[in-house]
Chains A and B, each alone.
Chain A
Amino acid sequence: MTADPPLVQTAALTAVYPTGDGVGPLDLTVRPGESVLVLGPSGSGKSTVLRLLHGAVPQAIDAAVEGSVTVAGRRVGEVGVADLADLVGVLAQDPESGVCLPDVADEVAFPLENLAVPADRIGPAVDQALARAGASALRDRATAQLSGGELQRVALAAAIAAEPRLLLLDEPTSMLDAAGIDAVRAAIAGARAELGAATVLVEHRLDELAGERSDGLPERWVVLGRDGRVRSDGPPERLTVEHLRELVRQGCWLPVDLELTALGLTWDGLAALADDHQYDGRPDGANGAAERPGIAGPSTGSGRGQISSGRGRSGSGEVSPGRGETVRARGVTVGHRGRVVLTDLDLELRPGELVALVGANGSGKSTLLRCLAGLERPIAGTVTGPRAGLVFQNPEHQFAATTVRAELAHGLPDPDPAAIEAALHRFGLAGLAEHNPYRLSGGQQRRLSLAAMLLHDRPALLADEPGFGLDRTATITALRTLQDTARAGRAVLFSSHDLRAVAGYADRVLVLGRGRLLADTTPWRLLRDSALLAEAGLRPPRLVRRLTEQLTGPDQLRAVLRRLDGLTRRLETGTGVPR
């Protein structure tokens, strides 16, 4: 095996974007069949590494590239991206734009047609690729009807159709739920086993990908620091505690075993954290202030308006004025362009509570949030209560102004410059006040959209996947902000895939599945009810499962999880506000 020539060889490979961020120098060798994980904090250039390997940088994305990279003897800089299609398969993060053609079969046949494979061989190759990706049942479907998980499997089938020797996977599970992750994990393993392809993987959700037997992760990790330089290249056991601490400090997500090592804890010692008040409260300093939302100060909000009734365009549902600040839904049926997604829901969001909304992909979380915010009419039933704020999953969808400052002020009936200035500082956006919102990084955009919504000071706040795409420290900040908002007397609801966040912060959890509200319960009871978890298609991460077994009550669970977050933040204090 060591006699095989390396499949991928880079020599002093460096890429620098016009913004100044960059990655490298990389001196990597990937052997045929090897499996590599690229790990690092946000902005360290993980995706850039993948893009360098098939030429997307610098051909599709402008950057100054030095050094060389060869794949199976071909120099990537000299051939086009399309010319490497017989060697390299790519699976991107967003399944919506990763699948481009209207029919599944055409999508998988497409790379073969481009490579001038004889027409009679294409049919069997398509079937084989679909089988390897676990998507045979989808062969004759139209791509417009597929869910995110199904699309990812089709995209994987297209990526392996030409039997590539190198497979590049850029956060393939980021938009998927537990079932989707299982399917992708199995498909990748199957593809590797049958094709013997080398894989280079970038992934955040390491515990989920690792799976039940923790065998889903590659054996070789290339760890990047925030400056883009390689910190470590080899098996994860080679990472020292100092490496791990630095990764945690920079906000990187780690598998739970390594996270505990970095924080100086053991599995057995976790239970003790529940009683250890040494880690209570927030660290002092700049970061402490950054977590309190801008609720103090004069009310600049537009939340005094009520959702009142009116003749709707669709359905017989109404949204009527209510007293007080509780958002109530009674007998609500929610749907999407004629198709019913949820029937007959009753729920309440009371002031002072932080409620989580969980369920598999497609269970109707986003649609329900929109109905509760008064943006969509329910097909049946009523929603009463104040006009809620809603923070959307993709912050870019909400941008309505040309500078960050204007964005914060947008929609406010009487913008108070002092309050806006305060919000800029609390959310770490002070230096970006005159920037265009679209130019911000993902984490900065999320902070901006949350800050802008909070300035409206609505009695109720809804958030759709507030931690999506954020690194560890930014996620903690977001959750603490929501918690503070709830404690200040607002009704707060957030939807999430991250059961660790739900277990650590939510007072109550609403479980959606099978077209209805399966349960309105507490996180503790949900986590101990395996039948409910299975019915809703949820799988708690290992840490949460172990803690639920070891600890005796919800307060302990919450305390341990929050203290873990507190320890992470303490490690991070001193390096400034996270990206």
Chain B
Amino acid sequence: MTMAETPSPRTRKLPLRDIVLMVMLGVVFGFLYWALVQAWNLLAVAMGPAGDLAQHVLLGGWLLVAPIAIAIIRRPFVGIIAEVIASLIEVIFLGSPVGPLLIFAAALQGLGSELPFAVTRYRRFGWPVYALSGLLGAGLVFVYSAFRFAWFGQDVLWLRLVLQLASGLLLGGLLAKVIVAALTRTGVLDQFSIVRDARPAAVRRDR
């Protein structure tokens, strides 16, 4: 069974199924994140000033959307689009206190997450790519947030960076690969590119 030629991804628009999937991922992760943060907020307040550091530990969870979307849909820019959609949902539907600036942060997260996949031409989906995706996504948005919240003058800058990169690597990178593999096994992704591109040409249909 030979792998069929991958069609040139740049020529056709994303099918609606993929767009709705990205929206759905944004909704699910936005909802889960909100549910998790409710519980965490109490902890953060209890931690006092150190509670501000909690955001770095949680950030990785927000990076999940991009690599998962890229792995399933297998098209360029999907990571950025998925993050932006997720942030739109957070701002408009969930009323996030961060406001529309969240969209810029999300775009940066998406860009960072997307780069390792783009550089390997969306063909490699092993542990290193995911790990790098998480690191870059967390790192890029760290720079933006550092400007925004003026972290550069603080003593704890390096601590923040380390926490954020670790969260990005583990939660935003490796966990994404685990989730994608588990989802693929359930068969729920059978209609998406992740499974369809790997089928023999006799069964595949061009749209």
Contacts and interface: CB of A to CB of B under 8 A. Distances in A.
User: Is chain B in direct contact with chain A in the complex (CB below 8 A)?
Assistant: yes
Interface of A: 18, 58-65, 80, 402, 436-439
Given A402-B182, A438-B187, A439-B186, A59 B207 contact: yes
Contact of A436 (B17, B186, B199, B203): B186
A438 B205 contact: no
Interface in B130-188: 182, 185-188
A18 B199 contact: yes
Count class of interface residues, chain B: 10 to 19
B41 interface: no
Given A18-B203, A65-B205, A60 B191 contact: yes
Contacts of A80: 207
Contacts of A59: 205, 207
Nearest to A16: B203
B191 A64 contact: no
B196 A64 contact: no
Binding site of B, secondary structure by majority: helix, strand, loop or mixed?
loop
Contact of A62 (B182, B185, B187, B203): B203
18 contacts: A58-B205, A60-B17, A60-B191, A61-B191, A62-B191, A62-B203, A62-B204, A63-B203, A63-B205, A64-B205, A65-B205, A80-B207, A402-B182, A436-B186, A437-B186, A438-B187, A438-B188, A439-B186
A62 B190 contact: yes
B29 to A, nearest CB: 19
A142 to B, nearest CB: 14
A551 B186 CA distance: 49
Please give me the 4 A-B residue pairs with the lowest Cβ-Cβ distance, nearest first. A438-B186, A439-B187, A58-B205, A436-B185
Contact of B196 (A62, A438, A439): A62
A62 B186 contact: no
A437 B188 CA distance: 11
Nearest to A58: B205
B11 to A, nearest CB: 16
B93 to A, nearest CB: 10
Contacts of A60: 17, 191
A144 to B, nearest CB: 12
A49 B150 CA distance: 61
Nearest to A77: B205
A58 B205 CA distance: 7
A80 B205 CA distance: 13
Contact of B205 (A62, A402, A436, A437): A62
Contacts of A437: 186
A126 to B, nearest CB: 23
Nearest to A17: B203
A436 B187 contact: yes
A438 B182 CA distance: 11
B98 interface: no
Contacts of A65: 205
A381 B131 CA distance: 53
Contacts of B196: 62
Given A58-B205, A438-B187, 15 more contacts: A59-B205, A59-B207, A61-B191, A62-B203, A62-B204, A64-B202, A64-B205, A65-B205, A402-B182, A402-B185, A436-B187, A437-B186, A438-B188, A439-B186, A439-B187
Contacts of A402: 182, 185
Contacts of B202: 64
A107 to B, nearest CB: 16
Contacts of B203: 18, 62-64
Contacts of A18: 190, 199, 203
A436 B203 CA distance: 23
Interface in B42-96: none
Contacts of B205: 58-59, 62-65
A437 B185 CA distance: 10
Nearest to A61: B191
Nearest to A439: B187
A64 to B, nearest CB: 5
Nearest to A55: B207
Interface in B9-37: 17
Contacts of B186: 436-439
Contacts of B17: 60
A436 B188 CA distance: 11
A65 B204 CA distance: 10
Contacts of B188: 438
A61 B182 CA distance: 21
Contacts of A63: 203, 205
The residue in A59, A62, A436, A437 that gathers the most chain B C-beta atoms within 10 A of its C-beta is A62
B189 to A, nearest CB: 11
B48 to A, nearest CB: 27
A267 B188 CA distance: 46
A439 B203 CA distance: 19
Contacts of B182: 402
Contacts of A58: 205
Contacts of A439: 186-187
A58 B202 CA distance: 13
Contacts of B190: 18, 62
Contacts of B199: 18, 62
Contacts of A64: 202-203, 205
A61 B188 CA distance: 12
A522 B116 CA distance: 67
A18 B202 CA distance: 10
B58 to A, nearest CB: 25
A302 B1 CA distance: 47
A565 B190 CA distance: 37
B192 to A, nearest CB: 10
Contacts of B191: 60-62
A505 B80 CA distance: 56
Nearest to A65: B205
Contacts of B185: 402, 436
Contacts of B204: 62
A439 B191 CA distance: 13
A530 B207 CA distance: 55
Nearest to A80: B207
A61 B185 CA distance: 18
B99 to A, nearest CB: 23
A59 B203 CA distance: 12
Most interface-central of B187, B188, B196 (chain A CB within 10 A): B187
Nearest to B204: A62
A49 to B, nearest CB: 18
A438 B186 CA distance: 5
A63 B196 CA distance: 10
